Each structure stands twice: as C-alpha cells, then as structure tokens.
Amino acid sequence: MHAARHVFFVAALLGAFAGAAQADTSVPKQDLKGLGDPAGLKRFAGAVLVYRDDVAYDEVRLPVGKAVYKDDKVAAARTLDRAGQRTALQYLTPPDRSALEVLRNYQQEQKGAGFETVFECAGEACGDSRDIDKTSLSALVLPDTWWSKAGDNTPAACGAGHFVSDFRYAVLDNKASGAAIALMVWKPGDVSVYCEEKEFKKRISVLVVKVEPKAREQKMETLSASELGKSLDANGKVAVYGILFDTAKADIKPESKASLEQIGALLKQQAALKLHVVGHTDNAGALPANLDLSKRRADAVSAVLAKDYGIARDRLTANGVASLAPVASNASEAGKAKNRRVELVLQ
C-alpha cells in the first residue's frame, strides 16, 4: 500500500467521542480544557494537546517490528512488553512542519533523559494496512476499545484522519528505569466533513504513549480455603485472581503468597481432592505464545504447591488455554483483567 493511504485508527480515539457538531470543528488555539502535559514529557513547540488518557496500571505491548496483516488480523513479529502506569496523548503541531522534524525533536529530547530508539520505521516500511479497523501497526499500540466512529468531529478525530501520509513510528526504551515510549507522527489526509479539512491537513498529529514501571495496587481479596472449597462444590471450578505474574512471564510474584497458602490449606484439609490448575490469558498477542505462557504459569503454580506446601504432584494437573475460555469481553481493559486468571477445576 502507498504511504499516503497508511491507515490510522486514532481517527476515533474513543467511543466517548459523540455526534456531529453544528459547525465544522476548527484547530484549537490552545489545549483542550483540563488537559496538560505529564511531568517529564515535553511537547513539540507550539503544539496543542487535544487528547489525554491515563491508566494507573496497564499492560502494553509496543510493536518493535513490521506489522503483518494476515487472516483478518494484524500482528507484529516482535514487541517490547511493559506493565505500569500508562499515559496516552495526542497533539496537533503548528502548520507546515514535517513528521520527521517532529519525531527527531522528540528523540533528541528523550535521549537526554536516558531513552534510546530501539525501533523506527516510516510509511510502507511500518507494515501492512488495509482499512481503518484493526489492521495497521497503529492498532497494536493501544487497546481496541480506542476504535470508534471515523466520522467523529472532535479535534482529536479530525487531526487523526481516515487515511494519512508522512507516517512515522518509533519506540524508545529506557533500560535504566524500565520506561518505554511509543511515538507516532503523521499528516491527516482525509478527515470528516464536519472538520475544517484545509487547516487540519496542514498539521502533524502526534500520538505519544508512555509506560512507566509502577507497582500494581493489590485490589483483589484473597479467597479463604473455605470459600475456595464452597465454590468448587457449587460450580466445579473457582477463579483465583490473587496469583500474579509479570507481563509475558511465568514467574509467580511474591504477593501471590496469600492465595497460594489458602489453596495449599484446602488441599491439606481435603486429602482426596484432585485439581486441574488451568492458566488463562487475555487475547493480547499471538495465540500459540499465549497457550505456551498459560501452560507454563499453571506448571509454576503446581510446582509451588508441591514444593512449598507439600502437595503430591499426582493431585495436580497443569493446563493452559490462553484466551480460549474468556469470562468477559476482551474489548475493554476491565474485561481483559478478568480473563487473566488461574482457575482450579475439579478432576
């Protein structure tokens, strides 16, 4: 595909963007009300901030390789995985700048803060794209809940456009702090009829996604051995959300101890009880990789129960089903969080 038609889904940043206005949307002269830059992240001179979204704790997989569209899906061969506080921002630059100029300014600024560029591409080199929905490299950077109506007339949607030109993308990594930044810059080439097209097409849109390491707040209540047993009796299975892992890893985190203790207590109380330990993931990433990951996580839980709590291994069978048995929609972060779990199932 030609770079001029490199598809970009941020045309609709969120489903919350609503309805057509009575007058064409113009380029804002200042930041939209209530928006501002996060600490330590400067903007391109003269740019206005038209969108910001903050999530206290999120799992983000930033593409660091060409996007490939196949079987109605888009995927990147490699990703840089980070979990922590995530901030996403969209800016519109002053007129008559280039995407390259804007990108180089960001890279130079962040280099001074300890970030190195680990991947960069432009236009067709960024990979395949087919249409506005779920099929370009840009669709991999943010959750699919960000797709919405391409015809929305907020400044963010107008600045995104349906099709874009001068598209550039880079990922910056700070190995010392563990933070990562994804930068996408582009010129909108086709905007909603409710936008002042001539003015928006003079601008460069900038999407910045920054993820900084931050401990996740422990919000889950630990089920007691008695509660686990009651759920198994009633439903034949029980979901355990207190067993935690780092992104894309199978090492059990220390804060999982309380849940493991209760599972161990249950198995000691009921000496004849045998369980399937089943790992579940959300749908982020490739299915084969997630099948392997979920199985390794289940293996890790079984191994800890045997080693630390004296449970015979023949009472535990580890399996992994990745995202094949969701309990909620993966279209939202809340749903994905519910799907990432370990389940105990009666044998």
84-110 pLDDT tens trace = 899 999 999 999 999 999 999 999 999
> Are 110 and 170 members of one domain?
yes
Q: How far apart are CA 151 and CA 314, in angstroms?
A: 58
- Two tokens at 253? 């985190």
324 domain residue, yes or no? yes
> Are 254 and 325 members of one domain?
yes
- Tell me the pTM: 0.61
**Of 344 and 19, more confident:** 344
> Are 208 and 112 members of one domain?
yes
145 domain residue, yes or no? yes
Q: What is the CATH number of the domain that holds 325?
A: 3.30.1330.60
- The answer on pLDDT for 150 being more than 50 is no
> Are 261 and 320 members of one domain?
yes
> Are 205 and 309 members of one domain?
no
> Are 204 and 235 members of one domain?
no
Domain interval for residue 27:
3-212
In the chain, the number of structural domains is 2
> Are 208 and 240 members of one domain?
no
pLDDT in tens, 163-210: 778 889 999 999 999 999 999 998 887 777 778 878 888 999 999 999
> Are 57 and 143 members of one domain?
yes
217 domain residue, yes or no? no
219 domain residue, yes or no? no
Q: How far apart are CA 117 and CA 120, in angstroms?
A: 7
- Report how far apart the first and last C-alpha atoms of the chain are (Å, whole number): 52
203 domain residue, yes or no? yes
220 domain residue, yes or no? no
> Are 279 and 174 members of one domain?
no
> Are 192 and 239 members of one domain?
no
218 domain residue, yes or no? no
In a 13 Å sphere around the CA of 73, the CA atoms on its Cβ side amount to 9
Tell me the pLDDT of the chain averaged across its residues. Answer: 84
> Are 231 and 305 members of one domain?
yes
111 domain residue, yes or no? yes
Q: Read off the amino acid at residue 114.
A: G
> Are 236 and 100 members of one domain?
no
Q: Where are the beta strands (DSSP E) in the chain?
A: 6-7, 48-63, 67-70, 73-76, 79-92, 116-122, 163-173, 180-188, 205-212, 237-240, 275-280, 316-320, 341-346
